[in-house]
A and B are shown apart, each in its own frame.
Chain A
Amino acid sequence: MNCEKAREQLPLYVYGELEFTPEEEMEQHFSECGECREALERERRMHAALEATAVSAPAALLSECRRELRSVIRAKAERRPWWRRWLPGEFHWMQPAAAAALLAVGFFSARLAPVKVGAETRNGEVTASRVRLIEPDRNGAVRIVLEETRQRDVFGRPDEDRVRRLLLRAAQEPADAGLRVESLDLLKAETTAREVREALKQALLEDPNPGVRMKALEALKPYAEQAEVRHALSQVLLKDESSGLRTQAIDLLIQHRTGDLVGVLQELMRHEENDYIRLRTQRVLQEMKASVETF
């Protein structure tokens, strides 16, 4: 390896893009050549300076983007004919025939089958009902037990107890991730209440939907110094499958470089696959004068 070749390869060396052998040759050359060592230091200084050019998108922008995207997609879906919404993507070619078939089935079943599940309007209030029991009696009459679900509007501010309790319930509604996101978004302003912080931590660690977990993480940001929240963030960093969430978690954790962070980051280096997170972890460990790997 000569100086000319070493200078040429310098950017790739610093970016860790060289194969094993050329990288070894470069290191051998640096140990022998003071000028190239100086050039290497200069390249590294440039890299450090270039860090300052990275800008992060404002957190609020991400929420705005998600909201807009969701509403545009929803609006598009609503503009589609109903039979297209029903049919799975792979069967779209047979949509017209399927729609006709479904119409025919609907027509005949309405004529032949008794209605068991339905919705009716009583005193202007929509009620969904389901037949739970049918009991014929000796006189030819029948007793029918209906299970009814009624909608009721509750108005109030999120800081009111009853509203907050309902929001906390909605934050755990298993069937609707959108509802969980909306409720966590509203609860974000109520994090002074311990029960809200607990619900957020639970959502961050256990919710199956990454969007909901992200919303919980955003809400917990002001508490990133607290031991319990740091523990939850460490769990996200080590175990969450979403690289977006892990990126957010590491950014928050490294703002306060406590001793226990080193162990978490070293553990992370053993299995993290995302290049960006690995690079960030490596840098922080170096800055904290800790070894990059555990031995």
Chain B
Amino acid sequence: MAGRLGRDTVSDETELIRAAQKGDDEAFEQLVYAYDQSVLRIAFNLVRSREDARDIYQEAFLRVHKNLRTFRFDCSFHTWLYRIVTNLCLDHMRKRKVRKEEDTVVETEEGRKDRLETVAEKEAVADPQRRLLSLELKERMEALLEGLTPRERAVFQMRHHEGLRLRAIGEILGTTEEAAKNCLFRATQKMRAGLGDWI
């Protein structure tokens, strides 16, 4: 077996970073391969587009490559990397939100309505179990996620799907654990209110 879990992992990573800082391309590649799946998963879940996730992946690692020499181990490497990725995703989502502001309003027989409301009106399936798994519910949750602010969405994604602790999320977003906690509160509150009696 090539690698082992345990206390050596951190020092191995430190050695890899130091080697990559000195221009060792193989060490840099190993760093990329250790984290790039998570990076792509975060980007893909936040921006929900193959092309945009690919751009974010590349931009994030190019920034790491360019700035690695200035990395001074003030925080862990993965915190630094995730900070770069989430900042890129947040910028992207903010830009898209401005572009999409218009698109969320759709024309219906009863006039102009927000997309969120139209999803809410879809007829529910009688069986609660089937209802839970139904496509409409998934669609509704997708719409609710779209309705979160970029920062709420990032906190929710990192906590719910990546399993990161709120303290780490706060550090990644350059804020406090308390602020990350408040973001998560707001996100879950919106989701709960939006899901109403569906669950």
Partner of B62, one of A49, A72, A243: A72
Whether a CB of chain B sits under 8 angstroms from the CB of A279 is yes
- Residues on A with C-beta less than 8 A from B58 are 65, 68-69, 72
Instruction: Give the distance in Å from the alpha carbon of A254 to the alpha carbon of B50 in the complex.
Output: 26
- Residues on A with C-beta less than 8 A from B192 are 43, 46
Contact A209 B1 (CB under 8 A): no
Partner of B34, one of A238, A244, A273: A244
Instruction: Give the distance in Å from the alpha carbon of A68 to the alpha carbon of B51 in the complex.
Output: 13
Of B109-117, B118-126, B181-189, which stretch is located at the interface? Answer: B181-189
Q: State the Cβ distance, A57 to closest chain B Cβ, in Å.
A: 4
A-B contact count (CB 8 A): 170
Contact A65 B54 (CB under 8 A): yes
- Residues on B with C-beta less than 8 A from A213 are 2
Known: A53-B142, A89-B23, A243-B38. A68 touches B54 (CB 8 A): yes
Whether a CB of chain B sits under 8 angstroms from the CB of A94 is no
Of A11-19, A121-129, A137-145, A257-265, which stretch is located at the interface? Answer: A11-19
Contact residues, A190-236 vs B (CB, 8 A): 205-211, 213-214, 235
Contact B32 A206 (CB under 8 A): no
- Residues on A with C-beta less than 8 A from B184 are 11-12, 15
- Residues on A with C-beta less than 8 A from B2 are 205-210, 213, 240-241
Partner of B32, one of A66, A205, A241, A278: A66
Interface pairs (9), CB distance under 8 Å: A46-B188, A69-B61, A73-B25, A209-B2, A213-B2, A243-B34, A248-B37, A275-B163, A275-B165
Contact A55 B29 (CB under 8 A): no
Instruction: Give the distance in Å from the alpha carbon of A214 to the alpha carbon of B159 in the complex.
Output: 25
Contact B50 A211 (CB under 8 A): no
Known: A52-B138, A53-B141. A275 touches B162 (CB 8 A): yes
Contact A73 B65 (CB under 8 A): yes
Instruction: Give the distance in Å from the alpha carbon of A50 to the alpha carbon of B184 in the complex.
Output: 14
Whether a CB of chain B sits under 8 angstroms from the CB of A70 is yes
Binding site secondary structure of chain A: helix
Chain A: which residue is nearest B68 at the CB level? A89
Contact B21 A275 (CB under 8 A): no
Instruction: Give the distance in Å from the alpha carbon of A72 to the alpha carbon of B26 in the complex.
Output: 15
- Residues on B with C-beta less than 8 A from A90 are 21-22, 69
Instruction: Give the distance in Å from the alpha carbon of A230 to the alpha carbon of B167 in the complex.
Output: 36
Taking each of B12, B28, B30, which has the highest tally of chain A beta carbons within 10 Å of its own beta carbon?
B30
Of B40-48, B87-95, B97-105, which stretch is located at the interface? Answer: B40-48
Contact A62 B36 (CB under 8 A): yes
Known: A17-B165, A65-B57. A239 touches B3 (CB 8 A): yes
Instruction: Give the distance in Å from the alpha carbon of A278 to the alpha carbon of B2 in the complex.
Output: 22
Contact A210 B54 (CB under 8 A): no
